[in-house]
Amino acid sequence: MKLLRINMENLTYRYEDLPDSELLWGGRALTSKIVHDEVPPTAHPLGPHNKLVLANGVLTGSLASSAERSSMGGKSPLTGGIKESNAGGTAGLKLGRLGLRAIIFEGIRDDFQIIRIHKDGVEFEPARDLLDQPISEAAAKIRQRYGEDVGLYMIGVAGERKMLTAAIANMDKDKSPTRFYGRGGLGAVAGAKGIKAVILDDTGVERNKPKDPQRFRSAMKIYAQWLREAPGTGKIFPELGTAAMVKTTNKLGALPTRNFSTGSFEGHEAISGETLRETILARGGEGTPTHACMPGCAIRCSNIYADVNGKRITSPIEYENIGLLGSNLGIDDLDAVVELNRLCNEYGVDTIETGAAIGVAMEAGLLNFGDKEGAINLLKELGEGTPLGRIIGGGAELVGKIYGVRKVPVVKGQAMPAYDPRSIKGLGVTFATSPQGADHTAGQTVRAQVNHHDASGQVEVSREAQKVNTIFDILGICYFASSAVAGRFDLLADMVSGYIGREITADDIVGLAQETLRMEHAFNRGAGMTKAHDRLPEHFYEEINPASQTVFDVPEEELLAIGTEGRVS
Amino acid sequence: MKLLRINMENLTYRYEDLPDSELLWGGRALTSKIVHDEVPPTAHPLGPHNKLVLANGVLTGSLASSAERSSMGGKSPLTGGIKESNAGGTAGLKLGRLGLRAIIFEGIRDDFQIIRIHKDGVEFEPARDLLDQPISEAAAKIRQRYGEDVGLYMIGVAGERKMLTAAIANMDKDKSPTRFYGRGGLGAVAGAKGIKAVILDDTGVERNKPKDPQRFRSAMKIYAQWLREAPGTGKIFPELGTAAMVKTTNKLGALPTRNFSTGSFEGHEAISGETLRETILARGGEGTPTHACMPGCAIRCSNIYADVNGKRITSPIEYENIGLLGSNLGIDDLDAVVELNRLCNEYGVDTIETGAAIGVAMEAGLLNFGDKEGAINLLKELGEGTPLGRIIGGGAELVGKIYGVRKVPVVKGQAMPAYDPRSIKGLGVTFATSPQGADHTAGQTVRAQVNHHDASGQVEVSREAQKVNTIFDILGICYFASSAVAGRFDLLADMVSGYIGREITADDIVGLAQETLRMEHAFNRGAGMTKAHDRLPEHFYEEINPASQTVFDVPEEELLAIGTEGRVS
């Protein structure tokens, strides 16, 4: 396994070996280690000292189900802290086939480059004709020019403009460039480095093989069985996708509605997972409610949404999209949500951050809640780069600052995903204390068997979830598999041991996850974060969520114990 | 002496006694103490828990020369830390005559009020007909309605919109509403509280008298003599105003030019203090190069700038205005600088923050450096509240974030005043370590007898300057008098003792200044600031200022000693 270090200022590169002893350093552990070790925590996120690190999970490339994810890391221009964002799709698989565990991008430049990586090295080309256009168009040109079968990382106009909502796209198994490294504005970091597209061409490269195929396969067999047997991964996700969550959160009073002013949406039926599935099935054609973003994924939570003529619009429509671009905007029209989602995908912005930003703009009175045409037009301004579009492209916190709005649903500058933290308090703890800012994938607690409205015990629930999510982010396995694995990490250790050919224990994996969180908090402390950053916005403590009749009331001392400052000792 | 506490949510008020034992708590000491004691450091600056504190200096109202300043304090929406901003003018004098040391505004509301304070109490009236208009127009209505002789604090459209550049105006001795509490966006805090205007009506109130008139007068006599004899206060300021500084800083390579990219401006002659004086004298009419903002000020650094027909345009044209709205924008046209200054005054925004914001917009390529019409039009958008105007009104840091610019001259979110910190390194230390963010008035070192290009000893120079500036901010004396006082604080103690009728020593005053700084740093730590916030922007450490051939190189360990974190013990 190798690391590839690319200097974008000089357009030079070199390979480094990843010693066998470090083969467990994958995904989030590796991006966070490199950022922690090599980026000064006070570095300007868009400056020459920040790095963009792309790292495969330990199992990425193994073709184990749901294990093709790769991580992006760097100092986030949105949070000012360390960032890891991961996605499924196919680029990780290609990266692995090229024998690369990670690529480290260094330096900045003003123009934009295409970086083509193949078995013999790296080539750079100006990206001029790919700029200022929808991601789908630019990706089609790439595939036409470099082969239908390449892997691809790409930014859109948002990243070119260094907007703080900017994400990085890669392609799903059907070559749709709609799988995003969404959170934290890493697309702006890529933009500052002049990285328009990274092409992974594995022509002439042999397929990865497990070091101990028998051990790997027998572990994988059990793992696949668990995935089939667990209700979430075996039935709910394949049928309804993540949008199954709409009804659950609406009932809990946790579905963000009209800028998180309440947690139940009178129009939720129209945008539920059930309605989504029915609509897709009724329209037929290119749409499908069950779709895998990665080759061989058994969970298949993705979908393809088609118009009334059965023609594909975009993919995937997920719970977070529905929550942030639907109920959070007071929009109860699935086609409108899909159009907003499609535009986000084409411009290359995080749907969560963008939905929250439009919600704050609605709070500011720029347009009314429920105004779907207004929301679509506002998002088009982002695509055009007008001043108003720039404001929205700056994310929820900046919209709040520009318009003097104080009810802004962010932590560490990053917008909350679609869970009101007053109603799912474990997630509130995660939002407050994760080094990543508000992020459900940093410690998802919604499936924990607790009273989500009750503050007691939520710190422990979140602590455990933060550990588990980090484990999955290191291994490159989608955390949706975690419900099926249910803490039985011995099996994961067995899979890893068989794949990398070294004896790995569950304790090794858990220990690395804890070390990863430690490094992330340490980086954030160096960047200037304290317990004052481990808080929800003021109004979540004081204003009752009418749907749940709760405020966020997990005591500050408890938060301290698992937050940035409490981890010093 | 009393404190007046006004609840803006309920429109209620109550008086509290300031015990005689606390009569030394004035100005910045009092605003910072109240903010420190009463505002949770994590409070949202525009939320219900922030307070806006208006406090007179200890000597304000005494009519000692240059001692009519009052302070505004609160948690800053711009820096996220504690803020004190002070100004001359006449409102402090009226406040003192009403027997008030301070007013504490609490709570928030959505509409705007006029708060009229007179000898018998407080009255509230809707401010509807004063909104959305130039400050000069609204102030004229106030004077017409409430009497020519009232004192006034007022916000403009920027404060109404809660822009982070928003300032608070008060009137000079000629009733021009152009003396600003400029820094830190306190106008937005007033806006969030629904405070459009505070009217101080001292009808029927007796003039303040010193408790020990003889002691006060004999000390004041010496003080007045020092002011006359010192070259700065006796000659340079009255003749050229603060704009005398243009030639000095240009020579030092410290005059910010084109977004702080260099420190000498080829067009500096056209905007120098000498040219300013000559222009004003040549045009005659209502203009004057020597003007007092406060009754009885001997320094008279202010001026009135008239057009070619001798008709008053605005007042005052100061060094900071010229540096930020002139050279920093590449503009070498005094009339254009004056027009930008006038617009800032009419909208009620900080000229420093606004000039820096336009400079960053120029860096982003929105308009060219030197484009004076473009700059004026951009500023007019701020007045109109267009999206682009909102962006500029957000200040330099937000413009940088919205447009992906990394060379943004701010510390703790607040724009640098007109001194390149690479060329006047003591000020660089002040900018980095002051709890107030980048602010020359928090520790002015330009007159220190040191090699400003040399890093050695600058921490001591800044530490001393921060102490001295705090002393003057507590007493209500303009810090321009500090060069005449030259550390002879015994005389100030004598003046204070005579005025308040208690024995005060120089040590008492110095001790209170140090306690004030301690409280401010403590608040900031609670708000989440660490040594990571006590830094200049990255590029000042790395990119040579071509005019001085220097970078900022005061070692981090030295900064730590006087910054936020070093003060913990």
Q: pLDDT tens digits, residue range B360-403?
A: 999 999 999 999 999 999 999 999 999 999 999 999 999 999 99
Residue B208, both tokens: 């303040």
Q: Report which of B141, B68, B48, B504 is spatially closest to residue B292, judged by C-alpha positions.
A: B68
Among candidates B47, B531, B532 on the partner chain, residue whose Cβ is nearest the Cβ of A538: B47
Band the pLDDT of A223: cuts 50, 70, 90: very high
Name the average pLDDT for chain A. Answer: 96
Examine residue B73 and state whether it is found in any structural domain, yes or no.
Answer: yes
pLDDT digits (tens, 9 = 90+) for A67-117: 999 999 999 999 999 999 999 999 999 999 999 999 999 999 999 999 999
On whether any CB of chain A is under 8 Å from the CB of B386, the answer is yes
d(CA B569, CA B567) in angstroms, rounded, equals 6
Averaged pLDDT, B209-215: 95
At residue B334, the 3 state secondary structure works out as helix
- Chain length of chain A: 569
| A66 domain residue, yes or no | yes
The range of the structural domain enclosing residue B59 comes to 2-200
What total of structural domains would you count in chain A? 1
**What pLDDT band is residue A568 in, cutting at 50, 70 and 90?**
low
Q: Which pLDDT value is given to residue B569?
A: 43
Query: What's residue A206's pLDDT?
Result: 87
Q: Mutate which of B75, B402, B541, B564 to disrupt the A interface (most A C-beta within 10 Å)? A: B402
Cα–Cα distance for residue pair A565/A568, rounded to 1 Å: 6
Percent of chain B with pLDDT over 90: 96
- What six digits make up the tokens of A372? 């779907």
Chain B residue numbers touching A164 (CB-CB < 8 A): 401
Q: What is the 3-state secondary structure (H, E, C) of A215-284?
A: HHHHHHHHHHHHHHHCHHHHHHHHHHHHHHHHHHHHHHCCCCECCCCECCCCCHHHHCHHHHHHHHHHHC
* ipTM value > 0.95: yes
| Distance from C-alpha of B254 to C-alpha of A53, rounded to nearest angstrom | 38
| Both structure tokens of A256 | 């963000």
Task: List, for residues B240-249, the tens digit of each pLDDT value.
Answer: 999 999 999 9
A412 CB-near residues (< 8 Å, 6+ apart): A79, A80, A81, A436, A437, A438, A529, A533
Q: Measure the CA–CA gap between A372 and B204, rounded to whole angstroms.
A: 59
Strands in B392-467 per DSSP E: 410-411, 414-415
Confidence of residue A162 (pLDDT cuts 50, 70, 90): very high
* Structural domain contains residue A292: no
Q: Which chain B residue has the Cα nearest residue A49?
A: B538
Measured CA distances, B191 to A17, B169, B195, B348, B349 (Å) = 58, 13, 6, 12, 13
**Span B443-472, average pLDDT:** 97
Whether A477 maps to a domain, the answer reads no
Using the predicted structure, report yes or no on whether residue A63 has a pLDDT greater than 90.
no
Residue in B closest to A524 by C-alpha: B532
B188 touches chain A (CB under 8 A): yes
Strand partners, A304: A288
Both structure tokens of A477 = 């396995």
Whether residue A436 lies inside any domain: the answer is: no
Could you tell me if residue A150 is inside a domain? yes
DSSP at A53: E
Q: Which of B71, B50, B65 is nearest to B153 (CA)?
A: B71
Of A79, A109, A378, A402, which to mutate for an interface test with B (greatest number of B Cβ within 10 Å)?
A: A402
**Whole-angstrom Cα distance, residue B382 to residue B349?**
10
Say yes or no to pLDDT of A569 above 60: no
- Do the domain assignments include residue B395? no
More confident position, B567 or B440: B440
What pLDDT score was predicted for residue A340? Answer: 98
Question: How much of chain A, in percent, has pLDDT values that exceed 70?
Answer: 99
Separation of first and last alpha carbons in chain A: 34
Length of chain B: 569
- pLDDT tens sequence across A297-311: 999 999 999 999 999
Q: Do B390 and A391 touch (CB under 8 A)?
A: yes
List, as one string, the DSSP characters of A177-195: S-EEE-GGGHHHHHHHTTE
- Asked if residue B352 belongs to a domain, the reply is no
Q: With an 8 Å Cβ cutoff, are B537 and A44 in contact? A: yes
Angle ∠(A155,A418,A523) on CA atoms, nearest 5: 60
Cα–Cα–Cα angle for B330, B382, B69, nearest 5°?
80
Residues 6+ apart with CB under 8 A from A212: A497, A498, A499, A501
CATH of residue A40's domain is 3.60.9.10
- Rounded distance between C-alpha atoms, residue A89 and residue A173, angstroms: 6
